[in-house]
Amino acid sequence: MKLVKTTHSKSIKFLCQFFLLATLIIACHSTTIPTSTNGCIQNYNPNQDYFPNKIKITYATGLAVKYHNNYKIITIKNPWQNAKTQFQYVLVQCGTPTPKGFNQAQVITVPINSIVSLSTTHLPHLAKLGVVDKLVGISNSKQVSTLDVVERIKAGKITQVGNNSNVDIERLLELNPDLVTTFGTGNSQTDSYAKLTEAGLKVGVNAEYMEDTPLGRSEWLKFTALFFNQEAKAEKIFNEIANKYEQIAQKAQSVKNRPSVFVGFNFKGTWFMPGGKSYVAKYLADAGGNYLWSNDQSTGSLPLSFEVVLERAANADYWLNFSQSWQSLKDLVAEDNRYADFKAAKTGNLYNNNARVNESGGNDYWEGGISNPDIVLSDLIKIMHPEILPNHQLFYYHKIFK
């Protein structure tokens, strides 16, 4: 009986020591694990990787990111046409030390909790990432099409702060956002970046419009995600978009007949035609079209005369992407009776990318369309090869009737 009691006491003592040791191990180990990259780190460990989920840039050529244990460096390689400068941002995990060698304007603590966007093209990113509740200011509420943002505007939770060239600095300072996203053109008279930085605001220049492929533009979702530590979500969302796009494009590559197509319209004596290496040309090629300026090697717009366009495109099968104000063939002819000389006008193969325009003139093609290239591509295939996607309904495009 005594032996049993002694053994029992030793067992209890051993178990107590075991649980005490286990508790100490867990307590010590927990100090090396970040509480969450969605909040501030309480116990910094220099050997801990605070960004276990990393993004990979696949299509965008103007964006790069390099990870370190507690900070990440974003590089904007080509912020505008013929840019001679690059931008770098150092995103430091909250609760961890700032690395040396960077000026204060470059350093941004992440994850951010508030953001102002000076371009509607950035708004779909916030919606896709589920962080619209962090949006406190925009340039012009009337131009917005993103539904989640529209609802927040109606609720009075978003402030208008003016556009890129005429931004209200005082109002921005009152909002005091963690980040302002904008874009650059290289014109110091109209660009807001310098003024915002001088005012002490943290600014991120988004250069998605410089990309020459639809998926390259769409991938800038990851740029926005980096500031929220939402890499895993952005990767998942974008991979789904890219896979859909590639699968749809593959369906159109086997077509035997590639109808000829051109875009744009004559504006104050000049017809700006997208270059053969532009994202528009890529869309049309992927949709199984024969873009009449595909042999051109430029990524920007070609300033052409009406006569030059008519000479090459007079017999084109399709005419796309023209003036938003044209609602019928009569509108085209009223603008310039020479438009009636195009075969596409005669046959009625006129399709415009303004099916989703709000009452203030905001066109969702230039907002949501950039983030949903798979839908835009589906529209273009439906127009030129309706048999490939029999169940697809036009979303951003619609036909202009007589």
Per-residue pLDDT of 300-351, as tens digits, reads 999 999 999 999 999 999 999 999 889 889 999 999 999 999 999 999 999 9
Q: Is the pLDDT of residue 34 over 50?
A: no
> For the chain, give me the number of helices (H) and strands (E)?
14, 17
Q: What pLDDT is attached to residue 1?
A: 43
Q: Where are the domains of the chain?
A: 63-239, 254-399
Q: What is the mean pLDDT of the chain?
A: 90
Specify the 3-state DSSP secondary structure of 37: coil
Q: What is the mean pLDDT of residues 270-281?
A: 97
Per-residue burial over 315-325, b if 16 or more Cβ lie within 10 Å, else e, is ebbbbbbbeee
Task: Please tell me the predicted confidence (pLDDT) of residue 357.
Answer: 94
CATH code reported for the domain at 63-239:
3.40.50.1980
pLDDT for 37 = 64
Is 173 in a helix, a strand, or coil?
Answer: helix
The yes-or-no answer to whether 63-239 and 254-399 have a common fold is yes
Three-state secondary-structure class, residue 58 = coil
Name the DSSP letter for residue 208.
Answer: G
Whether the predicted pLDDT of 360 surpasses 50? yes
Dihedral (Cα; 106, 109, 112, 115), 10-degree rounding:
-30
In 3D, which of 333, 336, 349 has the Cα closest to residue 401?
Answer: 349
> For residue 12, which phi and psi values (nearest 5 degrees)?
-65, -45
Token pair listed for 271 = 């017809």
Tell me the pLDDT tens digit for each residue of 213-256: 999 999 999 999 999 999 999 999 999 999 999 999 999 998 99
Report the b/e string of 335-361 with b at 16+ CB within 10 A: eeeebeebebbeeebbbbbbbbeeeee
Quickly state the pLDDT bin for 190 (edges 50, 70, 90). Answer: confident
**CATH number among 3.40.190.10, 3.40.50.1980, 3.40.605.10, 3.10.20.30, domain 254-399:** 3.40.50.1980
Encode burial over 116-134: b for 16+ CB neighbours within 10 A, e otherwise. Answer: bbbbbbbbbbbbbbebbeb
Instruction: Supply the pLDDT for residue 39.
Output: 83
Instruction: Render pLDDT for 99-123 as a digit per residue (tens, 0 to 9).
Output: 999 988 899 999 999 999 999 999 9
* CB half-sphere exposure, 248, CA atoms < 13 A: 28
Report the distance separating Cα 355 and Cα 394, nearest Å: 8
CA distances from 165 to 78, 105, 185, 194, 204 (A): 20, 20, 10, 11, 16
Residue 2: pLDDT band with limits 50, 70, 90: very low
Q: State residue 373's pLDDT score.
A: 98
Question: Of 284, 275, 279, 278, which is closest to residue 253 (Cα–Cα)?
Answer: 284
What's the token pair of residue 308?
């030059």
